[in-house]
Structure 1
């Protein structure tokens, strides 16, 4: 049965409604969709934001689920849902997030003074932190943090004089009045829709599954395009000119590159190994750091943000070093920037293959030339 249908078949409406009622107050296996999801294959389950689903099996990034709206089953990305009847459904709750990443997120484009989030405390178990974006003439845009302490009876407070039975009540109160905070709470911190997890078995893919949409750039060895995989998932596609490298050498290196997974490295999704070789990676909306810094938005960046970008790049390079790997071509053109101004390192490993291939060709040409002279 195809999972693309978004409505229950006629005649089954009552059954689906009964199913919905019976499971509404069910166990922790019930989740609520936080984003719309369009399937890329018949095994995926389509759903819309707000739909309720029952989890049948949790396996890695893809979970098997059943829609309580349509009754259909299929696989869903775990990052697109939150467990019902838990704090996970609150848009302002970010559980596992460091203080530094919190500041990066709140100061990203799209958020204004008053934007906020609540996260688990890094130092005190059972406590939380409220982080709020503020703006002052002296400091400009900054983020201020307030510790939310837990009461013995299960309540919470920032100031001992004002306590609340839940985090939801605390947020509602400070949305009405600042009462000592730098700002009255405005909108929850905005984030981009999570990138769709890539299926583990989709590594060497057919060229026909890719659709080129917009050319982003070109270089000595090929071009970079924005495109779609299976007409649904936005990706970046790097095309390499024929003869740039041997397919066997490329695939061997690509398999090593795929093992390097880190939040500061661009994710390598898949490859087309028949020439011309294609490399499929996650799409980064703001392109290369070199080009972004030349734009109006890039010119507006203050020194603290530029230092933070450098720190992000250093995090990625430190990871590569820990893995005993060498990039060989670190430069602004190979650093990509997301829409939230997060930096990721790209093209690690490619320089080694291309360098080896061209070194071999140069040696051959040199020997060939000397042979002609000696003859």
Structure 2
């Protein structure tokens, strides 16, 4: 990965210099503009006409809706994308009390569905602290000129502009912040606001790969809970609709909670888990929140035990790989699937948690091929007789399990790393079962002898080196998930510069 040159000295802004005068700004904002500079989810230009009640002097509790929201339970407040809301109380976790100024209606709203009306978070093109690889995923297959702005990964007070070029490649440009609050990409021209910067480059490429024509569409954010103070639910609250599959834990159903919310339901096999241990572990699992983890919504702690989670529209990663989408996936797309799993597992690693059952069948795929880690922690609750590799009714996935875990029940984050290496072979072979032709005992003996799977023909040598590093006999020599995440994210970058040349900037 290339590196940037030393940071240029920030230019000084002056009234007659790089910043336009008040009259010039007015003229700029009134010109025809190829894109709309608007609040996230709204339809307003950056420059408001005189008398508009929603100016940049709005109160700090003046918010705008980023997405549509339909009330899920009594006390919620429904709203549409772009509506103005007054936040009355933001001290209640993920649910804030709000009021519609136009009607006076009051209720609770999900906090990640709103943003301060005049903040950068309210802009349709602002994606927050996402990584370069995630920006490229969002912009993949978009038209030239589609763009987003994100917080830079490595430098404070800086942002990155990611834009699709005429050649359909995604280019990245560093946006730096002036000491007085302005912004610039080129030292030649600076801007009082980020809106002004976007407006300028929407009219002229001025050294960029192309003009900024269209803000990248954002997917609707996940509501983190079923509702305010909803955790323990009754069986009568859940309607089971379609059986999606069954496995080691029990059955998986598509369901509806409270007659309104689509959910996935894991219905545990009777007697497979102690109800109190199940409830305690689920409470811990509830605290794990990350964009690459399947959201845990609620539990039923009465038999049959149930876990209620978000529903992932494309099912398990294993099924996805074997289906048409997997068969037609390119090598970068396959590696990106592994990257997303590594991102989720790196978070689990940071939280000092252990998954215990990392394999493609426990990873789930949502819209646009987004992969999330599922079923984290449940394996710890199962009866230990399922770990016996000689059992005739073996259910535990020995082929994915590190030898120290399969033989001595020693599960650590490093045994998860071993399993991740096996999962990567599932991805690269589009769903082939590991160690083909071997049973569980043969696999354990094979691994104990120090032997490892051979490289599939379609696997690049460097990727195989990464996979093999996960299968070090000594657990402490295996890489961290953070290292694996970085290696996979950078797999195709190589010596390519991280930020595009701005042609004389």
- TM-score normalised to the size of structure 2? 0.60
Q: Deviations over 1:154-191 (max 9, x none)?
A: 54332344444432232223223333322332321222
1:1-375 aligned at under 5 Å gives the runs: 26-59=58-91, 60-107=93-140, 111-134=142-165, 136=167, 142-151=169-178, 154-198=181-225, 199=227, 201-219=229-247, 221-356=249-384
Q: Deviations over 1:42-76 (max 9, x none)?
A: 21112122221111111221111111122021111
Alpha-carbon offset, residue 101 of structure 1? 2.9
Match of 1:3?
none
Report if the CA contact (8 A) 2:65-2:79 is conserved: yes
What is the number of equivalent residue pairs in this alignment? Answer: 338
Q: Deviations over 1:234-254 (max 9, x none)?
A: 321112233333433422332
Alpha-carbon offset, residue 220 of structure 1? 5.4
Counterpart-to-counterpart distance in 2, 1:280 and 1:184: 45
Report if the CA contact (8 A) 2:299-2:308 is conserved: yes
Q: Deviations over 1:253-300 (max 9, x none)?
A: 323332333333222211112222221012222221111122333233
Counterpart-to-counterpart distance in 1, 2:55 and 2:165: 42
Report if the CA contact (8 A) 1:245-1:357 is conserved: no
Report if the CA contact (8 A) 2:275-2:305 is conserved: yes
Change (3 A) 1:246 1:87: closer
Q: Which has the higher contact order (CA 8 A, sep 6+)?
A: 2
- SS of the residue corresponding to residue 109 of structure 2 reads strand
Report if the CA contact (8 A) 1:51-1:69 is conserved: no
User: More deviation in 49-58 or 264-273?
Assistant: 264-273
Change (3 A) 1:40 1:359: same
Alpha-carbon offset, residue 77 of structure 1? 0.8
Change (3 A) 1:324 1:149: closer
Counterpart-to-counterpart distance in 2, 1:105 and 1:25: 33
- TM-score normalised to the size of structure 1? 0.79
Match of 1:5?
none
User: More deviation in 230-239 or 70-79?
Assistant: 230-239
Report if the CA contact (8 A) 1:204-1:273 is conserved: yes
Report if the CA contact (8 A) 1:250-1:353 is conserved: yes
RMSD of the TM alignment (CA)? 3.1
User: More deviation in 218-227 or 149-158?
Assistant: 149-158
Counterpart-to-counterpart distance in 2, 1:22 and 1:189: 25
Report if the CA contact (8 A) 1:196-1:233 is conserved: no
Match of 2:20?
none
Counterpart-to-counterpart distance in 2, 1:118 and 1:22: 24
Report if the CA contact (8 A) 1:135-1:142 is conserved: yes
Report if the CA contact (8 A) 2:145-2:166 is conserved: no
Q: Deviations over 1:310-364 (max 9, x none)?
A: 233233334434555443322100011222433222112222323437579x99x
Counterpart-to-counterpart distance in 2, 1:112 and 1:327: 39
- SS of the residue corresponding to residue 94 of structure 1 reads coil
Report if the CA contact (8 A) 2:300-2:306 is conserved: yes
- SS of the residue corresponding to residue 93 of structure 1 reads coil
Change (3 A) 1:151 1:219: closer
Report if the CA contact (8 A) 2:129-2:152 is conserved: no
Change (3 A) 1:34 1:316: closer
Change (3 A) 1:66 1:135: same
Match of 1:6?
none
Counterpart-to-counterpart distance in 2, 1:98 and 1:276: 41
